[in-house]
Amino acid sequence: MKKNYFRFLQFLTFCPIVIGAQVSLPYTEDFGGSSTQSQWNYSNPSVIVIENTSVDSPNGGAGGSLMYNFFNSMGLSTYNVQSPVLDNPTNEPVGVSFQFAAANRYTMPAAIQTIFADDHILLEYSTDGGQTYTLIHDYEIGKTGELNTGGTIPSFFTPTASQWVTKNILLPAGTNRVNFKGVKNNINQAGNFAFLDHAIFQICNGSTAAPTGNSLQNFCSSQTLANLVVTGSNIQWYDASTGGNLLPNTTVLVTGTTYYASQVVGACESTTRLAVTVNSSGCLSVNETSHNKDFNFYPNPVIDILHINSKMNVVKVNIYAADGKLVQSEQDKKITSVNMNRLIHGIYFVEFTFKDGKTLQNKIIKK
């Protein structure tokens, strides 16, 4: 391993860790040598390092991310990464949001590889300032785990901006410390490289509202949850109104199915969810609309002006970002064009509302 690839947390030698110190909530840790980073407790600072080339998460601060160097660990091992004591005077539940990136490193050619590193991050909480911890969730990295964002690679892993995932979880009432425990389960493998950044801790009293949107929405063949139009921040989709399974945005929509959306504000997820029932009937795809005599729009992709031809007047146009946030709205007796020059490049969802109240949703690319 190159000596200059990592720099160890040398400041831990000079800055004693004050286990009893408290931080006020809400509290965000972006690491990278922040003023509060010295209050974190690392059980093995020779393995937990700050990446030398300043790997920053998309939402984190500059200066690098906390790194689990499982590759450099020996045998079966665990490494505690304990937060400062959180000042939670009301003993309310605490929401935690964090960004993570990891990849699975193999030491033999992938074609003959049969055993892959099976590293985990165990999220634990404490209600007694860190004297005891209770497991709340086991996040697997592994070959295909929920924290593996970089796939399987033959060498070092340095994540790009798109190779980060944000995780949110609500911890029980009275939580006042959190442990991101790294666990190396497979002695036969070299281990992964994993990055933790932009950890948010916030008291959640149930005040975060559910997102808003139409409870009945049409979709086109092969469209996914990402195509549904919902207004809110950091939308999460589930298969039940409470509890249930978290669904990826790539989940293909099934007609007649009801999906449930929550939103996350800061680190707090809404306790209620928006129910959206989907139906494939009456939906025109982009290709179909471009050849329909009664309705079409062009061009797609669009640079500035989106033109609309419709036999029945279009009276309202809402444009949503990919995360469901409403970014532009136009309303008139008859809309024949929409100026989209204020929007940045990307994918948007446009909802056309007709004079009779019916709606049509389509995906549009803004160049």
* Tens-place pLDDT, residues 42-97: 877 767 766 655 788 988 878 889 988 887 776 667 889 999 999 999 899 999 99
Superfamily of domain 6-203: Galactose-binding domain-like (2.60.120.260)
Residue 71 near residue 105, CB atoms below 8 Å: yes
| Euclidean distance between CA atoms 207 and 303, whole angstroms | 40
Q: CATH classification of 286-366, choosing from 2.60.40.1270, 2.60.120.10, 3.65.10.10, 3.10.28.10?
A: 2.60.40.1270
Q: Is the pLDDT of residue 308 over 50?
A: yes
Of 112-116, 121-125, 161-165, 217-221, highest mean pLDDT: 121-125
pLDDT, greater one: 303 or 105: 303
Tens of pLDDT, residue by residue over 319-357, are 887 656 778 999 999 999 999 988 888 888 888 888 888
Q: Is the pLDDT of residue 260 over 90?
A: yes
- What pLDDT sits at residue 281? 60
Question: Domains of the chain: which residue ranges?
Answer: 6-203, 216-279, 286-366
Residue 210 near residue 263, CB atoms below 8 Å: yes
Share of the chain above pLDDT 90, in %: 40
